[in-house]
Structure 1
Amino acid sequence: ARECRAQAVIGLGGGSSLDIAKLVALLCGHEQRLEDIYGIGLAKGPRLPLIQVPTTAGTGSEVTAVAIVTTPSHEKKGVVSPLLYPDIALLDARLTVGLPAAVSAMTGVDAMVHAIESYTSAHKKNVLSDGLAVQALTLLAANMDRVLAEPGDLQARSNMLLGSMLAGMAFANAPVAAVHALAYPLGGHFHVPHGLSNALVLVPVLNFNRPAAEALYAQLASAVLPGQRFASPREACDGFIDFMTRLVARMPFAQRLSEVGVTESDINQLTDDALKIERLLINNPRPLDRDDIHALYISVL
């Protein structure tokens, strides 16, 4: 980009492509080393003008201030800065029509995780992020099965894309937590797509969080089960977790860590790496220690 004296950057693709576009615009606009800006608020501007065009309904990267990369040491590291927000985010559902079913499913669950973790985040949760998360989850839950059954349904595709964007806006305000912290080492070491790695650990984390998040999960039940009445918050929480469990189970992708190459001998390394992601673990509604993380990985091996 520097050699061709680029005057602007257009990101086109899934979350990884959009994240790279952010970094290209940033590093070309102000010379700095990538390894020096991992973390929060370390990047310097200005950056080149940036337009983001997502072709998956999942990451919401087109509206977030985060760029995630996998380092040579197999760690997932992030650059977090308001400079990474684009000038324009362009959503066109026609660009998602050709996605394989598995990719549509993985990215869709990823977006749902963004909404759920934002709504239950222990830090920065607010009225704005809650509204975005609920609307996102409502759209995603209502259209996920439809896009898999009818891949050419542009209205369903549009709803998924909008839900993904709203979920991205939600977690840009109230950050994600343990699902992502446990998912990142799976991507770093085993090159598991991000949406799939989230899906693999989602249900165990939901069940783990229940003692601390029952009331919040109960509130989300109306987003995924509209019109259904519950006798108590406990019953509503049951309904929400059961809905998410069933949804993940019927998706056309791997359901166990062993299916993506993880063995029991890998669990300690995954656990150690997840523990390092404190910036996400602190957002979880229920604190986790090493034994908790280890047990969560084992439960889906």
Structure 2
Amino acid sequence: MTGIEFYTNGHIVSEADSMRQKLGILAKQYSATSAIIITDAGISELGYVNIAQQALQEADVSVVVFDNVVADPPIEIVESAIGLARDNQCDLIIGLGGGSSIDTAKIVALYPNDFQSVNDILDRDISGFKKLPLFAIPTTAGTGAESTFVSVITAKNGSKKAIYTPKILPDVAILDATLTLKLPRHITAATALDAMVHCIEAYTSRTKKNPISDALALKGLQMLWNNFEKVLNQGDDIDARADMLLGSTLAGIAFVNASVAAVHGLSYPLSINFHIPHGHANALVMCGVFTFNLSEATPLYAELARAVMPTQTAGMTDLDAATSFISQLKMFLENSGLKYRLSELNITKNDIPALADIVINTYARLIATNPKDMTLEEVTAIYEEIA
């Protein structure tokens, strides 16, 4: 077996109402005196920021709030958050919200180091940087950002840029399922399918698949799969919400150590060019990519199928089990209420050649980790299937 290097959070708390009950305690464990909460306006409106502020203030930690994060945060937004943290000499950075808020917080946690602009560190070795204590509190069960060491932001030219280093791994992940109870159905569905893709791509990664990530991906997928329809149809089921949130975190740990692949490669242009939310974009292309991969990945998809559909796949050949697995994913998407044709999202067949070209020329690294290589024509065909 090849060598393995594996990274994960030092401390994970998975408990309902844990933000209210334990955030202040954890902050004092890190000797915090001044915290910045990085979030978006929607999370502020839900009252979650007030809960976090109160918990910190009761622990004698002063608090400032930056709630201007937007999806796929541009560098300018990140730098504004850094400015607020610097001005208040914050010694604890908290990302509260979806992946964009947590990804922003990861970069803000580097602010004591010598750089004037985030642009200065995009292609720089920052392994020697100091990082302030970083807490991640997700409000969706999908991105896994609370357990990953990658931050994806938008450069000034509109392209997605990633800072990818264990240096930015959150120290503490607080998984409080009460924060996901108010999620609308479409966000619940999109983020859950995103997390499932993380598990599946980690388990089938051509380059970094390993026994630790396999175990986490398998368990994460089981938790997500078994609770998906519950959270869509009974959104107030706190136990199902808690399982989805933990499953998403397990998925995040798995994929950041094993890598994602072509589903992400095909989804990124949809998000960047047409502003399709990341989880929804992954859900759109996942079945086409998985079907394309069958000639190389059938045994692995069959293993996943038997783990999540043991009764339905009993006695099936690997190919039948793998095909049934992909069919069920397609049913999840179609029954979720999400749009699942490009034409429903104002993407025409005329747009497809440019999208395929971006995949091949910009996201080749994600094709390299896919179980099977893809040509420009094959990427085009996958898009055309869902046109």
Report the TM-score range of the alignment, normalised by the length of the smaller protein.
Answer: over 0.9
Matches within 5 A, 1:75-224: 75-224=159-308
Q: TM-score of the superposition, structure 1-length normalised?
A: 0.96
Aligned 1:195-274 pairs, distance under 5 A:
195-228=279-312, 229-274=314-359
* 8 Å CA contact 2:261, 2:366 repeated in 1: yes
Q: Could you tell me how far apart the structure 2 residues matched to 1:64 and 1:184 are? A: 18
Q: Distance in 2 between matches of 1:186 and 1:157?
A: 28
Asked whether the equivalents of residues 41 and 80 of structure 1 are also in contact (C-alpha less than 8 Å), the reply is: no
Pairing 1:31–2:114 present: yes
Tell me which amino acid in the other structure corresponds to 1:243. Q
Q: Which residue of 1 aligns with 2:372?
A: 286
Aligned to 2:96: 12
> Does the C-alpha gap of structure 1 residues 224 and 74 become closer, same or farther in structure 2, counting only changes over 3 Å?
farther
Counterpart in the other structure of 2:385: 299
Change beyond 3 A, Cα 1:142–1:50: same
Name whichever of 132-141 and 225-234 sits farther off: 225-234
In 2, the alpha carbon distance for the partners of 1:42 and 1:185 equals 28
User: What amino acid is the match of 1:135?
Assistant: K
Identity %: 44
1:298–1:16 CA distance, 2 compared to 1 (3 A): same
C-alpha distance in structure 1 between counterparts of 2:265 and 2:141, whole Å? 21
- Matched residue type, 2:151: A
Q: In the aligned structure 1, how far is the partner of 2:228 from the partner of 2:164?
A: 29
In structure 1, the residue matched to 2:141 is: 57
- C-alpha separation between the residues in 2 aligned to 1:48 and 1:125? 30
Say if 1:149 and 1:232 are closer, same or farther in 2 by CA, change over 3 A.
Answer: same
Q: What whole-Å deviation, never above 9, does each CA across 1:126-155 have from its counterpart, x for those lacking one?
A: 111110010011000000000011110000
> SS of 1:235's equivalent?
helix
3-state secondary structure, aligned to 2:337: coil
Q: What is the number of residues matched between the two proteins?
A: 300
Higher relative contact order (CA 8 A, sep 6+): 1
Listed one character per residue, the Cα deviations across residues 193-249 of structure 1 (whole Å, up to 9, x for unaligned) are 100000010111011111111111000002321333033111211221111111111
Separation (CA, whole Å) in 2 of partners of 1:39 and 1:230: 51
RMSD over aligned CA atoms reads: 1.5
Question: What letter is aligned with 1:231?
Answer: M
d(CA) in 2 for partners of 1:166 and 1:40? 29
What per-residue deviation string (whole Å, max 9, x for no partner) do you get for residues 78-117 of structure 1? 1100011011100000000000000000000000000000
- In structure 1, the gaps of 5 or more residues are none
Distance in 1 between the 2:255 and 2:307 partners? 17
Distance 2:311 2:189 in 1: 25
The CA distance in 2 between the partners of 1:221 and 1:40, in whole Å, is 41
User: Which amino acid counterpart does residue 129 of structure 2 have in structure 1?
Assistant: G
Secondary structure of the 1:253 match is coil
CA distance in 2, matches of 1:39, 1:68: 13
Which residue of structure 2 aligns with residue 67 of structure 1?
Answer: 151
| 1:9–1:51 CA contact under 8 A, matched in 2 | yes
1:181 CA displacement? 0.6
CA distance in 2, matches of 1:42, 1:114: 26
Letter in 2 for 1:111: A
| Structure 1 runs, 4 residues or longer, greater than 6 Å off | none
Moved more, 2-11 or 82-91: 2-11
Alpha-carbon distance change, 39 to 279 in structure 1, aligned in 2, over 3 angstroms: farther
TM-score, normalised to structure 2, is: 0.75
* Distance of 1:40 and 1:294 partners within structure 2: 34
Change (3 A) 1:186 1:40: farther
5+ unaligned residues in a row in structure 2: which ranges?
1-84
Deviation at 1:43, TM superposition (A): 5.7
